[in-house]
Every structure is written in C-alpha cells, then in structure tokens.
Amino acid sequence: MPDTPAESAPVILGNEPGSFPHGVLAERHPAIVRQVRESFPYGPDVRHALDALLAGCADGVVEPLPAEADPTGRDRDRWAAWGMDAYAGRSWYDVPWLWAESHFYRRLLDAVGHFGPGVWQGVDPFRPAKLAELEAPETDEELAALDGLDALPADERTRALLHGSLWGNRADLGFRLSAGGSGAGDQADALVADDSDALWSLLPPARAGAPGPRTLCLVADNAGRELVPDLLLVSHLLAEGRVDRAVLHVKPYPYYVSDATPADVLDALRRLVAAGGAAAAHGERLWTALTDGRVRVRAHPFSCAPLPYADMPGDLREDFAAATVTVLKGDLNYRRLVGDRWWPPTTSFADVTAYFPGPVAALRTLKSDVITGLDAGTEAALEASGERRWRTSGTHALIQVRC
C-alpha cells in the first residue's frame, strides 16, 4: 500500500481560482479552441460548434457525447464506462481535472467533425502546429548534433540520448551535455530524481548468453520535436542490443494538442530520414525494424481514457506485463501512472506504482502539480528555492524507476 492511501490523497480538481488546473480550464482550453478555429477554413457548422464549446468551457457543464458524434456508439459506451454518468451535468471545474481535460479534447474533436461523416473526418486539428514544430530550424540543429555523438564513449552516448528523450524540446541540451556543452550542469541540477542507473540495470548492453528477447514498451507523449528523441532512443537501444524488440504506444486519435498518433510517428521517421547523416541512419534503422516486426506501433483506446493506469484493461496489462520495462514519457502519462492526486511529494513512487504489471520507468518534465518519490531534502530545497512554480514550469524533470 502507498505511504499515503489513495483515499487520503485528494483527487486534483480545477475549482480553486488561481491554481494551475483552474488556469488550464479557464484560460488554456478557450485559447486552444480559438487556435483550432483559425487553423482551418472550417464552415459555419463547425465554427458554430466550436463557439458553443468555447462558451461551455467558460460557464457550462459536462455534456455526454452526442449521438451524431459517434455513429457506432462504441465511444459513447467507453465514456459511459469511464465515468460519464457520474459527471454529466456537473461543472467542468468540479470533476477530476484529469477527466475534465480528457473530455474537453474529445468534445473538441466532435466539434470539428473528426469522427465524421463529413469532409473533416480524420483530419487532425492540431496538425499544422505539429508540422511547424517538426520543420523548425531548431529541429535541424538538434538532428545535426547527432553527428558528433559517435565520438563519445558508449555510456556517455546512451546518457545523452536518454536525456534528449527526457527533456523533449530541450533535446539539444541532452545531445550535447556529455560533450561538456554549456547548460549540462544546469540540466543535471534540474533533475529532482534520477534513477537512470536502475533503468540501465534492466537494459544492460548485449552480451553473450544474456537472456532474451528483451522488450521495451515506450508510451510516447508528444509528437514533433519531442517524439524525435524518443525514436532516437529506441533506435540506439536496438543498435546496442539493450533491447531486441520495442512497442511504441501512441494515441489512436489527436489528443492534448500535441500527443503523438501513428501519423505523427510516420512524419517523425520521414523527418529523420530526410535529415541525412546520423539522423538518417537512425531513421532507416527504425524503418527496417518496423517492417520486420522488431518495432511495433500500438494505439490502444485506453491511451485516450480519462483514467489512471491502475484501471487499465486486461489486454493492455498483458502487453506491459510482457515487457522487460515499460517507459512512460511525459507529464500526462505520469499523472495517469501515479494517480492525479495531491500526494505528499515524499510518497513512495514504488508504492503508488505497485499495481503496475512489470518494471516501470517514468521520464517526465514537470508541468503539473502531482509529484511522488522525492526525498525530504530535495522537497525542502525546492520549496525554499523561491521558485513557486517548480512543479509546473517545465524547468525540472525526473527519472523514476520501479524494478
């Protein structure tokens, strides 16, 4: 059992003005609706639906999925099982924040006709922003930095790619930190927990007579410049023989603006191959691994569920149980892994993830309030630092492992 039982760690809501969750519901969600409205030449029906969602975000209540948004009824059945009956008719601010956020994105897809029928069926409303980030000059710089990694010792190269994956859009620091680039010390200091040695103990380099095959499940977070270093890490682990197979879990449909879907995986692979140099070698290795089955992409419906992983269905549990280790990337996956609750920061990470059906690791840049697994000294130093937003600003990160 966790040090603090779940029932005594309150679920995070968005009903406290001035809190980070309240700001997401009251400010970020309306801004996202406006951004999507201007990203495509939507007709009057879609624009009206987006305006209605915008008004509902401000002072409305949670509404069930309309029948026309889900002609098969399958998704409405899922949402009924995921708590719709309990939360319909309540304010967005008075239901669990994780649930409210997830339902917002599902309703946004309804509004733009993503599930059809119609001309906008299957169109990702966030695709322009994803592609702009993937094609940005900063991405060229990060991929060019890969060419210098081969000169590093193997352990330093592995560490650099792990930190590239951890920091996402700050991947350029990750690639260069082992070469003594500026910012390396700052990045190391920004880790509030670092169990990377435990992660590598689960995935040692290939050696004669080692048991196998070893399988990595990597539950991806964002697309674009954050997915690219995740793919580079998978490629590196395959090349070193640290893993024999990898399963990349992504979202089955657009979610949380930038979360990766199968289409985003293909865009990232093409970007790697087109970059030339070491980046292209990684891209070609991954392309081959996908074709021969050593890498698989999975988009399970539960990946878009508004629930913690403790409630995962049996088939997903079996997938994770079969892995040598499951690595969950990013802030949202962390919230779902430990439970989106006001845990005391020193609550044991191992205890709150004890339900998980195999070894699990979290690579996360902190962008929300939930946190576990800190030692008392680290918590005290962070609280005394004067940086009030250390939990939410993205300036700190963690690597946590439960073997």
Distance in Å from the first CA to the final CA of the chain? 16
Q: 379: buried, middle or exposed (CB in 10 Å: 19+, 13-18, 0-12)?
A: middle
Residue 1 lies in a domain: no
What phi and psi values does residue 392 have, to the nearest 5 degrees? -125, -5
Same domain, 284 and 155: yes
Residue 106 lies in a domain: yes
Q: Are 249 and 218 in contact (CB under 8 A)?
A: yes
Quick one: pLDDT at residue 213? 87
For 113-172, how does the pLDDT look when each residue is reduced to its tens digit (9 = 90+)?
998 888 999 999 999 999 999 999 989 988 999 999 988 998 999 999 999 999 985 543
Q: Which two tokens stand for residue 118?
A: 């119609």
- The CATH number covering residue 236 comes to 3.40.50.10880
DSSP letter for each residue of 327-374: EEEHHHHHHHHH-SB---TTS-HHHHTTTSSS-EEEEEE--SS-----
**Total structural domains within the chain:** 2
Amino acid at 226: E
Same domain, 151 and 62: no
Same domain, 170 and 319: yes
Same domain, 101 and 222: no
Same domain, 343 and 220: yes
The low-confidence residues of the chain, meaning pLDDT below 70, are 1-7, 69-71, 169-189, 208-211
Instruction: Give the largest Cα separation in the chain, rounded.
Output: 65
Rg (CA), the chain: 21
| CA gap 30, 25 in Å, rounded | 8
Same domain, 155 and 70: no
For 318-345, how does the pLDDT look when each residue is reduced to its tens digit (9 = 90+)?
999 999 999 999 999 999 999 999 999 9
Q: Which two tokens stand for residue 319?
A: 């997938």
pTM above 0.85, yes or no: yes
For 236-254, how does the pLDDT look when each residue is reduced to its tens digit (9 = 90+)?
999 999 999 999 999 999 9
Write out the residue range of the structural domain in which residue 54 sits: 6-125
Q: What angle do CA 282, 285, 290 make, to 5 degrees?
A: 125
